[in-house]
A and B are shown apart, each in its own frame.
Chain A
Amino acid sequence: MKQTAQDIWVFGDYRNYFQTRVTLQLLSRAGDLAVKTGSAVCAVVFGHNLDEYVKEYIAHGAHKVYVIEHSSLKKYSMENYVWLMERLAKEYKPDIILVGATSFGREFAPRLAKLLGTGLTADCVGLDINEQGILVQTAPAFGGNLLAEIITPERRPQMATVRPGTFQEIPHDYERKGQVIKIPLPKDLPKERLRLVHYQRKPHRGQRIEDAGVVVCGGRGMGGKNRFKKLFDLARLLGGEVGATRPVVYANWTDPELLVGQAGKHINPNVLFSFGVSGAIQHTAAIRDAGLIIAVNKNPNATMMKKADVAIVADANQLCMALIKELKKRIRS
Chain B
Amino acid sequence: MLKMIVCIKQVPMVSELNWDPRTGTLKRDLAEGMMNPACHHALEAALRLKELHGGHITAITMGPPMAEEVLREALAIGADRCILLTDKRMAGADTFMTSFILARAIEKECPDFDIVLCGCHTSDSETAQVGPQLTEELKIPGAAYVEWLELKENVLRMKRLSDNFLETLEMDLPGLVTVTTSHYQPRYVPLAGLQDAYDKCDIITLDADDLKLKIAGIKDSPTRILKVYSPDSEKKNIEMKGPAKKIVEELLDKFGRKIGGEIQKDLKAYGQEQ
Stretch at the interface among A46-54, A149-157, A181-189: A149-157
In this complex, what residue of B is CB-closest to A193? B141
Q: Is the CB of A238 within 8 A of B244?
A: no
Pick the contact of A144 from B15, B163, B181, B239 — CB < 8 Å?
B15
Contacts known (A103-B161, A200-B166, A319-B247); A146 close to B230, Cβ less than 8 A: yes
Asked if B234 lies at the interface with its beta carbon under 8 angstroms from chain A, I say yes
List of A residues within 8 angstroms of B162 by Cβ: 103-104
Pick the contact of A119 from B128, B182, B221, B261 — CB < 8 Å?
B221
In whole angstroms, how far apart are the Cα atoms of A119 and B255 in the complex? 47
Q: Is the CB of A319 within 8 A of B244?
A: yes
In whole angstroms, how far apart are the Cα atoms of A306 and B234 in the complex? 5
> Which of the four size classes fits the interface of chain B?
35 or more
Asked if B190 lies at the interface with its beta carbon under 8 angstroms from chain A, I say no
Asked if B37 lies at the interface with its beta carbon under 8 angstroms from chain A, I say yes
Contact with A along B57-100 (1 / 0, CB 8 A): 00000000000000000000000000000000000001110010
Pick the contact of B241 from A103, A313, A331 — CB < 8 Å?
A313
Nearest Cβ in chain A — how far from B239, in angstroms? 5
Contacts known (A292-B255, A310-B240, A330-B270); A142 close to B96, Cβ less than 8 A: no
Pick the contact of B143 from A194, A201, A270, A306 — CB < 8 Å?
A194
Contacts known (A113-B96, A194-B141, A204-B164); A146 close to B229, Cβ less than 8 A: yes
Pick the contact of B262 from A213, A263, A313 — CB < 8 Å?
A213
Contacts known (A119-B222, A122-B128, A238-B260); A114 close to B137, Cβ less than 8 A: yes
Q: Is the CB of A214 within 8 A of B262?
A: yes
Contacts known (A330-B269, A330-B271); A271 close to B170, Cβ less than 8 A: no
Contacts known (A197-B169, A262-B126); A107 close to B132, Cβ less than 8 A: yes
Q: Is the CB of B231 within 8 A of A281?
A: yes
In this complex, what residue of A is CB-closest to B221? A119
In this complex, what residue of B is CB-closest to A315? B244
Contact with A along B233-251 (1 / 0, CB 8 A): 1110111110011011101
Nearest Cβ in chain B — how far from A117, in angstroms? 7
Pick the contact of B123 from A193, A250, A326 — CB < 8 Å?
A250
Pick the contact of A312 from B181, B247, B262 — CB < 8 Å?
B247
List of B residues within 8 angstroms of A237 by Cβ: 263
Q: Is the CB of A307 within 8 A of B17?
A: no
Asked if B192 lies at the interface with its beta carbon under 8 angstroms from chain A, I say no
Contacts known (A117-B222, A153-B224, A202-B161); A111 close to B235, Cβ less than 8 A: no
List of A residues within 8 angstroms of B228 by Cβ: 141-142, 146-149
Q: Is the CB of B124 within 8 A of A102?
A: no
Residues of A in contact (CB 8 Å), total 102
Asked if A55 lies at the interface with its beta carbon under 8 angstroms from chain B, I say no
Asked if B12 lies at the interface with its beta carbon under 8 angstroms from chain A, I say yes
Q: Is the CB of B129 within 8 A of A199?
A: no
Asked if A2 lies at the interface with its beta carbon under 8 angstroms from chain B, I say no
In whole angstroms, how far apart are the Cα atoms of A201 and B162 in the complex? 9
List of B residues within 8 angstroms of A148 by Cβ: 24, 225-228
Within 8 A of A (CB), among B117-143: 121, 123-130, 132-133, 135-137, 140-143
List of A residues within 8 angstroms of B216 by Cβ: none
Asked if A123 lies at the interface with its beta carbon under 8 angstroms from chain B, I say yes
List of B residues within 8 angstroms of A33 by Cβ: none
List of A residues within 8 angstroms of B145 by Cβ: 103, 106-107
Within 8 A of B (CB), among A82-120: 102-104, 106-107, 109-111, 113-115, 117-120
Nearest Cβ in chain B — how far from A55, in angstroms? 22
Q: Is the CB of A312 within 8 A of B163?
A: no
In this complex, what residue of A is CB-closest to B230? A146
Q: What are 13 A-B pairs with beta-carbon distances under 8 A?
A: A103-B161, A122-B129, A142-B19, A143-B12, A193-B171, A195-B171, A197-B157, A200-B166, A288-B233, A307-B235, A322-B245, A329-B270, A330-B256
Known: A141-B19, A143-B17, A200-B166. 6 other contacts (CB 8 A): A107-B128, A115-B136, A143-B124, A148-B24, A263-B128, A312-B247
Task: Identify the A interface with B (CB < 8 A).
Answer: 15-16, 19-20, 78-79, 102-104, 106-107, 109-111, 113-115, 117-123, 136, 140-155, 193-202, 204, 212-214, 237-240, 246, 249-250, 252, 256, 262-263, 270-271, 278, 280-282, 284, 288, 291-294, 300, 305-315, 318-319, 321-323, 325-327, 329-331, 333
Enumerate the 7 nearest inter-chain pairs by beta-carbon distance, A residue then B residue, closest first: A119-B222, A239-B262, A119-B223, A193-B141, A322-B244, A143-B15, A330-B270
Task: Identify the B interface with A (CB < 8 A).
Answer: 12, 14-17, 19, 24, 26, 37, 94-96, 99, 121, 123-130, 132-133, 135-137, 140-145, 157, 160-172, 175, 180-182, 185, 221-231, 233-235, 237-241, 244-245, 247-249, 251-252, 254-256, 258-263, 265, 267, 269-271, 273
